[in-house]
Structure 1
Amino acid sequence: MHFQYIMLCLTAFICLSTCNRVYVHPFNLLAYNKSECEQIQSQDQSAEKIFFPINIESKTTEERNVKLPAYLEASHLETSENYLMTLIEAIGIRAVTEWWKLHKTDTILIPYTEFYRIMVSFYLGAAGNTSVNLQKFLGFQDPSGSTGCTSTINGLKVISKLQKIHKFQFSKDSNIDILRTVCMFVSPNVPLSEKVVHGLNPISDNLYVRSIDFKDSKAVKLINEFLDSKLPGNTKPELTSIDVTANFMYISHVQFKGKVAKSLLIPSPQPFWIEPNKVVLVPMISVTGIFQFTEDNITNKLIIKIPLSDKDFLLLVQPINGNTLENIESSMERITYGNWLNQLLDKYRYIKLSLPKLKIERTYNIQDLLYTLNVSQLLGKTADFSELSKTNINVGQVINIVDFELKESGEDPNGDNKIHETKEEPMELKLNRPFILAICDGTKKSMLLLGRVVHPTNTI
């Protein structure tokens, strides 16, 4: 009887504790709360600090760099991590597939996490209907259906969260190196909000803000020279023109360098069929190991997962049996990536793989991408960015540059004990035709970059 009484009390306590829990939707962790709204309403907007960017020809090396307020780095943001990653993937897949449709025979590599960062950057400076529309585009919907300040996303919180995701997204080892650089150009005598520009610091490793007269005949030359001096890598983008009617320009550069774990360079170039009747000789990497692999003869594609580091990996998808990349791409949606991973569960094969050494550079005008998504008004001539500047901001080109390199690690795979214990001969697999490539984080199983490789060394 005493035991039954104890169990009854314990059950009642558990039920009471469960009932007292209040579910907080991740949206609310990224939105303004009541006290923040009250603080915003009480602030003197005329007292907001502004600054005028230094001229592009200035020789100063000083850059503005301030830390975000401490509350933006609070641990409660952890609960919204998966929520934000879901939004990024949904928009990213949509952007990539639309761009594929426009460029059916070209190599396409879009770091869609960077695309999302760019749009969040503009959201930070947006006001009025532009702010509302950008919030919807970014995927944020207030589950309560309420309106007002507390139904508005705090862009600084989102940026802080994006930075936190980036910090833990990839293993910190010598096989993966990512560097982000953002350059913003604005017309002379256009003041910018210190709060907005400082809030953008966490989205990049380097942030440069410069003024330039877009109507100056030397403007294109000056911008190219500036990019050449600030962007990493040997090959730099070469702008041929700019929008002279604009007074604001945004350039994002992502450099990704990866090494295939325990791989060696094949001594001589190997054939790669960029078209059924067109072959080129390209450097290729050889890697041998026990990999997750499936050859699906129903959907006519093969999928293989190759490690970049202890956790992070490449996901490679190639059509077989007469199938085409276009067929695979036309059926892609947000759940496709998860389905590919599920197809690999418990499917391992001892494989000797040959895949191209990749050197790919791509430049995208985000304005063109938004046009294909039927949302060009988000950064259009009538967009309201009065949070960024009290002077009317007219956005010109918004450019994303991808500098991608994948090469061998130079490590001998024979040191792998699992391979050493395997007595069977490996299956030989050559990735010598166009394929889909995804760079994936092993912790969250999220993608950083997704694309189509038609020419392995295409730097045009």
Structure 2
Amino acid sequence: TQKVLRSEMGPAGVTLRATVLCLAAWAGLATGDRVYIHPFHLLVYSKSSCEQLEKSTAETLKEPTFTPAPIQAQTAPVDEGALRQQLVLAAEGLEADDKLRAATVGMLANFLGFRMYKTLSEAGSATGGALVLSPTAVFGTLASFYLGASDPTAHELQALLGVPGEDRGCTSRLDGHKVLSALRATQGLLVAQGGADGRARLLLSTVVGLFTAPGVRLKQPFVQGLALFAPVVLPRSLDLSADPELAAEKMDRFLQAVTGWGTDSPAGVAADSTLVFNTHVHFRGKMKGFSPLPGLQEFWVDNSTSVSVPMLSGTGTFQHWSDAQNNFSVTRVPFGDSACLLLVQPHCSTHLDRVEALVFQHDFSSWMKLLSPRAMRVTVPQLALRGSYDLQDLLAQAKLPTLLGAKANLGRISGADIRVGKVGNSVLFELQADDEEQPTESAQRPGGPEALEVTLSSPFLFAVYERHAAALHFLGRVTHPLSVA
């Protein structure tokens, strides 16, 4: 352990000591008072697996390949109900080791998500715009590239994902399939929420568009492995070089037709690209016991500008904490037994950036322990936030510009010389009332304690958290409830 604590994470730029301590803190949150260091060995190759890998190394060069269908090929629309059911099934019957893997991956995704969120926030600080990021989608996208990478790129990606592998021995290397399978379990634990009637309140759909230049052949084991991260993987070919802007439009139109979500990919594709990897995520959360307020309500974008938006309101007993020293409050609104929406409200809207920097960091879990039950009436905007960003840009801003660049070794994706043109992450995040349900029994009754009024009618922060895997699935900043991030 001492040897591990002294080592560094290389290009990730964060010491392993800090990572292990953060993991221990999050483990304490996930398992009560018991604090321990998460077992990375559950995510790496076993000795027997390593022996099999050594025997099959020569066979890797002979892996079956295929040419993706043209982008014009007819494609069935995504069935989001079926995707949700697949995730629920993935969360059922998890063994103890499976749950521990899910918690480990969930926490590693949190730390990577904090880092990418900070980078994205700093890049947009000049505009002060809305922001929504999925730590699990970022982690899953980079873990997918790890699945298709060989050294030195694989080693660098493993370090970025947060798992030490300094000796480069087989039994210290991540098993990409274990990682993506555990990530799928964390997603399943999130959506497997419902009331006593078993109705679904959460929807989470992940679709990957894998676009290649004509003639590029993809390796079947790589594409099949992606199904652990995204149940819908769409390999398609199109001309990426003649008109990069037109190619980007075609990819967006294709994914819009298949998903119907209306999320745009980051603009621009490099003319010499042979591969574009787009991850699209749709989340819809229905708030238990919340109902729409009549008409439209004012939301103050800044001190002098307001917009009229639909608002949702619910009365009941919620977890709450107010930090008088740092001038912000946190309210926890449950989606189900283990998933919740965390609402972070600055006491002064001009302090949003400072509160964001304070709250969305590695000790995020510390103030969550301070929440306590309180009779409340909570009013929050109905949300429909769209965000898109290129992970290559974020990696460049995080001083990792070459990680997925022209010299990246991605030989497990294709036998061809792959040049990645864009690694897009697009999110559609929706927050709605639970229209079919009346306020819960915990609502305020006559003669009960006076309800604290909390109205989020000015810029605020939010997070979607699931406690079994201690995973933050979404982080965001709302400056306009119906805006493009």
User: TM-score surpassing 0.5?
Assistant: yes
1:253 deviation in Å? 0.6
Please say which of residues 47-56 and 422-431 is displaced more in the overlay: 422-431
2:64 paired residue among 34, 46, 49: 49
Q: 1:323-361, CA deviations, whole angstroms, 9 ceiling, x for partnerless residues?
A: 6011112334544321221121xx222111211111111
Contact 2:130 2:478 in 1 (8 A): yes
Match of 1:140 in 2: 163
1:155 deviation in Å? 0.8
Distance 1:221 1:341, change over 3 A: closer
Distance 1:82 1:62, change over 3 A: closer
1:364 paired residue among 379, 386, 389: 389
Contact 2:385 2:428 in 1 (8 A): yes
Contact 2:266 2:390 in 1 (8 A): no
1:33-432 correspondence to structure 2 within 5 Å: 33-43=46-56, 44-45=58-59, 46-59=61-74, 76-104=97-125, 105-142=128-165, 146-173=167-194, 174-217=200-243, 219-233=247-261, 235-237=262-264, 241-320=268-347, 324-332=351-359, 334-344=361-371, 347-410=372-435, 413-416=438-441, 419-420=444-445, 423-432=448-457
Distance 1:74 1:189, change over 3 A: farther
The TM-score normalised by the length of structure 1 is: 0.86
Residues in 1 aligned to 2:217 and 2:436: alpha-carbon distance in whole angstroms: 52
Contact 2:76 2:258 in 1 (8 A): no
Q: Alignment partner of 2:444: what SS?
A: helix
Amino acid at match of 2:69: I
Distance 1:54 1:372, change over 3 A: same
Residues in 2 aligned to 1:415 and 1:85: alpha-carbon distance in whole angstroms: 30
Q: Alignment partner of 1:277: what SS?
A: coil
Residues in 1 aligned to 2:167 and 2:189: alpha-carbon distance in whole angstroms: 33
Residues in 1 aligned to 2:190 and 2:473: alpha-carbon distance in whole angstroms: 9
1:455 deviation in Å? 0.6
1:432 deviation in Å? 0.8
Consecutive unaligned residues of structure 1, counting only runs of 5 or more, are: 1-22, 68-72
Contact 1:262 1:411 in 2 (8 A): no
Distance 1:24 1:262, change over 3 A: closer
Q: Alignment partner of 2:393: what SS?
A: helix
Question: Which 4+ runs in 1 deviate beyond 4 A?
Answer: 60-63, 411-415
Match of 1:26 in 2: 39
Match of 1:5 in 2: none
Q: 1:146-166, CA deviations, whole angstroms, 9 ceiling, x for partnerless residues?
A: 332222211111111111222
Residues in 1 aligned to 2:302 and 2:312: alpha-carbon distance in whole angstroms: 21
Distance 1:333 1:61, change over 3 A: closer
Contact 2:302 2:349 in 1 (8 A): no
Residues in 2 aligned to 1:354 and 1:208: alpha-carbon distance in whole angstroms: 40
Q: 1:53-88, CA deviations, whole angstroms, 9 ceiling, x for partnerless residues?
A: 11112236699xxx9xxxxx9864443333222211
Q: Alignment partner of 2:203: what SS?
A: strand
Structure with larger Rg? 1
Contact 1:55 1:212 in 2 (8 A): yes
1:221 deviation in Å? 4.2
Residues in 2 aligned to 1:74 and 1:348: alpha-carbon distance in whole angstroms: 32
Q: Alignment partner of 1:96: what SS?
A: helix
Match of 2:81 in 1: none
Q: 1:303-335, CA deviations, whole angstroms, 9 ceiling, x for partnerless residues?
A: 111122343211111111576011112334544
Match of 2:15 in 1: none
Q: Identity rate of aligned residues, in percent?
A: 29
Amino acid at match of 1:82: A
1:224 deviation in Å? 3.0
Contact 1:193 1:389 in 2 (8 A): yes
1:452 partnered with 2:465? no
Residues in 2 aligned to 1:107 and 1:322: alpha-carbon distance in whole angstroms: 14
Distance 1:25 1:256, change over 3 A: closer
Distance 1:118 1:288, change over 3 A: same
Amino acid at match of 2:71: I
1:389 deviation in Å? 1.1
